[in-house]
Structure 1
Amino acid sequence: MSVLGRSPSTFKNYSMHVAAIALHYGKIPTELDQEQVHEYLFMLQKRSQTPSQTYFKHTVYGLRFLLKTEGLPYSYLHLPAIKKANKLPVVLSKQEVWAMLKACSLLKHKVLIGLLYGCGLRCLEVRSVKLADLDFDRRQLKVVQGKGKKDRYVPLSEHLIRGLKSYISAERPIEYLFGGVNIVDRAGGDFDSRYSQKGVQWAVKEASKKAGILKDVHVHTLRHTCATHLLEDGMDIISVKNFLGHESIETTMLYLHVAQLQTKPVFSPLDTLFSECSLFGK
C-alpha cells in the first residue's frame, strides 16, 4: 500500500474492515466462498444504524485491495459494484460565509475559516499549513503534498494576510500555523503538534451554528463554496481546477451544475406569474 502511494489512514481503514470479516468467520477472506461474503455484506447493509452503509462500502474496498495484492480478480469473491451517489454539494452564499466569519469569537477560528474558504483547502491541508508555507510578499500560500501527493500555490487575499499577521503576532505559533496538543501517534510513535481534525470540524460547525445557518455545513462545504464562487466571479474552469488541485477536470466540472453562470439568473415561474397576474392585489 505504501508503494502504491496509499495514505496511512487508508491502510488503517482497509485493515480494520478486512480484519472484521476475518474474525467474523475465523478465516482469512480469501478462504471464504462467495455465499459467505454475500451473507456478511448483506448483514452490514441491513444494519439499522448509521454508518452501516459506509462500513459496507469500506469493507468492499478493503476486500478489493486484498484481492489485488493477492493477484486475484474481483470475481473471485464476486464483490458487488459500488455506485457513486450523484449528489450535488452543499454551497453557501457569500452572505452566509460572511456571517460565519463574523460569528467566530476567536481570531484563530476566523483565520481558519478564512483559509478554508479563501484558499479552497481540504481539512488535512489547512491543518498542515506551516509558517514557512506563507509568502506574504508574493501573496501566496504553498500547499505542500496535498491530495495526490502534489504541491500547489494558491493566492492569499490581502484581507486574509492582515488576519494572519494579527493571529501570528498574538499566538506566536512555532512550526505549524495552527498548533494543538501533542498527541502520540500509536502507529509510528511520533508526536503531531497540529490542530486536530476534530478541532477543525468543531470550529466550522460552531461558526455555522452561531451564524444561524440551517444548511448541513462541514469543513469541505467551504471548499465547495470556494469553487462555486470562483466560477460565479468569472474564473475559468481550468484555473479553478488548478486552484483546487484537482487531478481531473471532470471533478471540477461538478461545480458547473451548482454555479449560477447564466447571463440571466435562474428564477421561479411564480415570479413572472405574480408580475403578470394580480391574484392577491397590490
Structure 2
Amino acid sequence: MSDISWHRYPLITHSALAKKWLQIQSNLGLASNTVEAYGRALEDFYSFCRQIAIEPKLAKREHIAAYIRDLMTRPQSRSSRAGILDSSSGLSNATIQQRLTAVRLFYDFLMEEGLREQNPVGRGRYTPGKGFGGQRGHGLVPRLQKMPWIPNDAEWKRILEASRTESLRNRLMLALSYDAALRREELCNLQTGDIDPSNRLLHLRAENTKSRQGRVVPYSVLTDNLYRAYLEHRRNLSRSRGPLFLSESRRNFGQPISIWTWSKVIRGISTRSELDQFSTHTPRHLCLTDLARANWDIHEIATFAGHRSIQTTLLYIHLSGRELALKLEQGMAAIHSWRIKQLSEVLL
C-alpha cells in the first residue's frame, strides 16, 4: 500500500469525501504513480471549482464543460507542443483524459455513497438531439492517438553527446532504459537483486510494471560494463543490498532516487541536446522501434516490452515502417517489370 503525500493536496485534505476516495485508491493497491496522478487531477478540479464558486459535490454538466474548456485553453508552462489538437495553448490531450478519468471515478464514488444520482462527467460524447448519451466508450473529449517521437541517427548522437558529462549512474540508467526498453518506474525501482550479471538478465518484478506482469529481459555487454563499474562506485554510497540507484546529493545521500530525479536528469539532457521532444520514454520507444526494424516478431516485441495488448505493440511496427517499405519495394518491382514489358513491346 502506498503512502499518500497529503501535503501536495491541500484542498483534498480539507475535503472528507475527496480524502476518503483517494485513500481508497491507495488501499486498493494501485501503483503509487497512479494514486499520485489521481491526487493531482482531483486537486486541480477542486481548485477550479473554488475559482467558479461551486461545491465539487454539486457540480453539473455545465461546470464539467467549463472545466474542460479551462484545460483546453490553460497556458502551458513547459512547451507549446503540448497543446490540445497541436495548438499553442492548453494541456495535452493525454493529460486532459487523465484529469477527466480521475474526476469521473470520484463522482462514481459519490454515486456509490448515495450522494449523487448521476455522474456529471459520464462516459458519453455530446451528440445533438441525444445530449451527453452518445455511445459508451466515447469520452467528452476525443482521444487523440499521437505517434511518439523517435529520434533519427543524428538526433540520437546529439543525445548521447549531451549525456557524456553525466555521472556514471545516469549513464548506466540511460543505457538500461534503451537496452532493455524500460519504463521510468521500472528503471528507478530496480533492486540489486534484480540483476543477473552472469547471464546479463534483468528480472522486472510485477509490482513495478505497468501491466502488473513480471518479465525477464537481456542487456548488452556495454551496459554490463557500465553496471560493473557503477557497482564499484555504489559501494562508496552504501554496502547494503536494495535499491540499485542511489542519490549522491547531500540532502538524500545514499537514499533511493525517485522517478522525479530521473525526469530532471532527462530534462537536462534534453536541454543540452536542444531536443525538447526527448523524454524518459524516448529510449524505450527507440528500442522497440529498432526491434521492429530488425524484423522481430510482433509477439516477441510484446513480450520484451511487457505489453498486455498486441495493439500497443503494433504502434512500433508502424513506426519502423518495415511493412510499408516491403510493400513499396514489392510494388515498385512489379510496376518496374510492367513498364519494362511495355517498353519492350513497343521499342523492340
TM range (shorter): 0.7 to 0.9
* TM-aligned CA deviation for residue 98 of structure 1: 5.3
* RMSD of aligned Cα (Å): 3.3
* TM-aligned CA deviation for residue 151 of structure 1: 1.5
* CA–CA separation in structure 2 for the residues paired with 1:76 and 1:201: 35
* CA–CA separation in structure 2 for the residues paired with 1:258 and 1:165: 34
Name the structure 1 match of 2:200. 139
> More helix by proportion, 1 or 2?
2
Name the structure 2 match of 1:77. 120
Can you list the C-alpha shifts for 1:35-86, whole angstroms capped at 9, x where unaligned?
Answer: 2332333233333445742564444222211122234799641555232223
* TM-aligned CA deviation for residue 170 of structure 1: 2.2
Larger Rg: 2
3-state SS of 1:65 partner? helix
Name the structure 2 match of 1:86. 145
Name the structure 1 match of 2:243. 176
For the pair 1:150 / 2:217, whether they are aligned, the reply is no
CA contact (8 A) 1:127 1:195 kept: yes
Structure 1 window deviating more from structure 2 (154-163 vs 43-52): it is 43-52
* TM-aligned CA deviation for residue 12 of structure 1: 1.8
For the pair 1:165 / 2:228, whether they are aligned, the reply is yes
- Over the matched positions of the two proteins, sequence identity in percent amounts to 21
- 2:306 corresponds to which of 229, 245, 253: 245
* CA–CA separation in structure 1 for the residues paired with 2:220 and 2:160: 15
* TM-aligned CA deviation for residue 178 of structure 1: 1.1
Structure 2 vs 1, CA of residues 39 and 170 (structure 1 numbering), >3 Å: closer, same or farther?
closer
3-state SS of 1:193 partner? coil
Q: Which runs of 5+ in 2 are unaligned?
A: 1-24, 83-89, 126-138, 330-348
1:202 counterpart letter in structure 2: K
* TM-aligned CA deviation for residue 9 of structure 1: 1.5
1:141 counterpart letter in structure 2: L
Can you list the C-alpha shifts for 1:86-123, whole angstroms capped at 9, x where unaligned?
Answer: 32111124565455445422322221110000010111
* CA–CA separation in structure 2 for the residues paired with 1:123 and 1:182: 24
Structure 2 vs 1, CA of residues 30 and 224 (structure 1 numbering), >3 Å: closer, same or farther?
same
For the pair 1:5 / 2:30, whether they are aligned, the reply is yes
* CA–CA separation in structure 1 for the residues paired with 2:72 and 2:157: 40
Structure 1 window deviating more from structure 2 (2-11 vs 83-92): it is 2-11
Map of 1:35-46 to 2, 5 A cutoff?
A: 35-46=62-73
1:156 counterpart letter in structure 2: Y
TM-score, length-normalised on structure 1?
Answer: 0.77
CA contact (8 A) 1:182 1:193 kept: no
* CA–CA separation in structure 1 for the residues paired with 2:202 and 2:66: 50
Q: Which runs of 5+ in 1 are unaligned?
A: 185-191, 267-282
CA contact (8 A) 1:117 1:223 kept: yes
Report 1 or 2 for greater relative contact order, CA contacts < 8 Å, sequence distance ≥ 6: 1
For the pair 1:216 / 2:254, whether they are aligned, the reply is no
Map of 1:244-263 to 2, 5 A cutoff?
A: 244-261=305-322, 262-263=325-326
CA contact (8 A) 1:120 1:223 kept: yes
* CA–CA separation in structure 2 for the residues paired with 1:10 and 1:43: 19
Structure 1 window deviating more from structure 2 (242-251 vs 11-20): it is 11-20
Structure 2 vs 1, CA of residues 240 and 95 (structure 1 numbering), >3 Å: closer, same or farther?
farther
* CA–CA separation in structure 1 for the residues paired with 2:198 and 2:142: 46
Aligned residues: 260
* CA–CA separation in structure 2 for the residues paired with 1:78 and 1:108: 44
Name the structure 1 match of 2:265. 203
Structure 2 vs 1, CA of residues 223 and 75 (structure 1 numbering), >3 Å: closer, same or farther?
farther
1:89 counterpart letter in structure 2: P
* CA–CA separation in structure 2 for the residues paired with 1:89 and 1:207: 18
